[in-house]
Structure 1
């Protein structure tokens, strides 16, 4: 089974690759942005499954999904993300993705999901949908703007201000201000404490 993982965060890419490479029957290739993932598909594909980060450079969201689907010879393409909403996940599945995976998935669950999708089945973890629904009604969510919630999700994944700024297409100083506001609204001592509060509330 041949899998392509495309994600601009090296740690995420390497971690997922390591999980899958432990399996005797899985061969893993990787790419750091969308253009290079298409080059891999054209040069080495089709792959049994392509995993695309929703927010990586060049992806353009669901446009990138459509392009990858057209290039991968009818085989599966799935999306992975740490920030996309449930609505985006549902749109991706409706547009032909064989799955939508949060980056917080446990290793065993990830491997099982990959096998499921490579077999042609559509996959989205039930707890991902449930957690998103709970996050939308949590009292803390009412305190935060949509942008502040996006920044909080980045903090929850351990991203730096620079990395969050790149993902959200903001200036780094703007992200810094959002972090300061988040700490005030959440009564957090620092960014790490804010992320802990956000995770406990199901917001990141």
Structure 2
């Protein structure tokens, strides 16, 4: 039996999707209502096969949640479920590692079809969506983020927020020298010379147009 997590702040939507997944697809379903509880749940149960991720729930910062989950839990598949339907947003979601993008307007039976495609190792997108063929060049920053380790990504997020090394060390409960090591590795992997440039690359990657 597959184990899935519905990460969405709308109780009615969670309940409807839960009924479909547990009933029609006989899955073991858990729920979370913000990004912090989503990460906590995944840390507590690393055997979660699939996450249904709402882009606009509390705690999300643009598309950063996709990148964070992919880096920290590489064996967990991600299906983005969102009211956002712009092709630029969908393209970025796929580039960041989402296996599917499901509009919230989609019929629940079609959602089942999408889930089955993902579990079979396939990608699923709405039929009327065409990914931008030039997106790989426009969003090269996304590929750079994929090189970072989970700790390096956490440091980069705080760098992008403008925190100093001492503040980052406090937030992550690590030494300042460890922060410096991570920061140095981040700059090298992103191919930049300073923290401002690193922060810009991060913001470009997660920004919803």
TM-score range relative to shorter protein: 0.5 to 0.7
For residue 51 of structure 1, give the secondary structure of its aligned residue in structure 2: strand
Q: Tell me by how many angstroms 1:66 deviates.
A: 0.7
Partner of 1:113: 114
Pair 114,60 (structure 1): closer, same or farther in 2 beyond 3 Å: same
> Which structure has more RCO (C-alpha within 8 Å, separation ≥ 6)?
2
1:84 is displaced (CA, Å) by: 4.3
TM-score normalised by the chain length of structure 2: 0.58
Q: Which residue of 2 aligns with 1:181?
A: none
State which drifts further: 106-115 or 70-79.
70-79
Residue 61 in structure 1 maps to residue 74 in structure 2 = no
Aligned counterparts of 1:126 and 1:68: Cα–Cα separation in 2: 26
Equivalence for 1:51: 52
TM alignment of 1:55-94, pairs within 5 A: 55-94=56-95
Equivalent residues, number? 130
After TM superposition, the structure 1 stretch with the greater mean CA deviation from structure 2, 79-88 or 31-40, is 79-88
Matches within 5 A, 1:157-172: none
**What CA distance in whole angstroms lies between the structure 2 residues aligned with 1:43 and 1:105?**
31
- TM-score normalised by length of structure 1: 0.59
Q: Do 1:99 and 1:124's aligned partners in 2 also have CA atoms closer than 8 Å?
A: yes
Corresponding residue for 1:34? 35
Structure 1 runs of 4+ aligned residues shifted over 3 Å read none
How far apart, CA to CA, are the structure 2 residues paired with 1:28 and 1:92?
A: 23
Structure 1: gaps of 5 or more residues: 130-204
User: Which residues of 2 match residues 107-186 of structure 1 at below 5 A?
Assistant: 107-127=108-128
Distance 1:128 1:11 in 2: 27
Alpha-carbon shift at residue 74 of structure 1 (Å): 2.2
- CA deviation after TM superposition for structure 1 residue 13, in Å: 1.1
Instruction: Note if contact 2:6-2:29 (Cα within 8 Å) is conserved in structure 1.
Output: yes
SS at match of 2:71: helix
| Distance in 1 between residues matched to 2:28 and 2:10, nearest whole Å | 20
